[in-house]
Amino acid sequence: MPIIRPEFTKSPYFVDEPGNWHLKPGASEDLQIELKNYLNSLEQIDDPGTINGIRIDYPYDR
């Protein structure tokens, strides 16, 4: 499955410092919301037996 690059990373306002992603002053509100939602989604922990929220069936569970 390909990993899709979020749109906000293509903005000239985006600063991709390791461990400190942020936007430069003057970024649009839509861009700020998109970054905030993306960073919040990274904190969500998947349930056991799932990858990105998709249930994975193991051969021994059948």
Residue 1 has pLDDT above 90, yes or no: no
> Any residues with CB less than 8 A from the CB of 53 and at least 6 apart, and which?
46, 47
pLDDT tens profile 5-50: 888 999 999 999 998 999 999 999 999 999 999 888 877 776 777 7
Residue with the larger pLDDT of the pair 30 and 60: 30
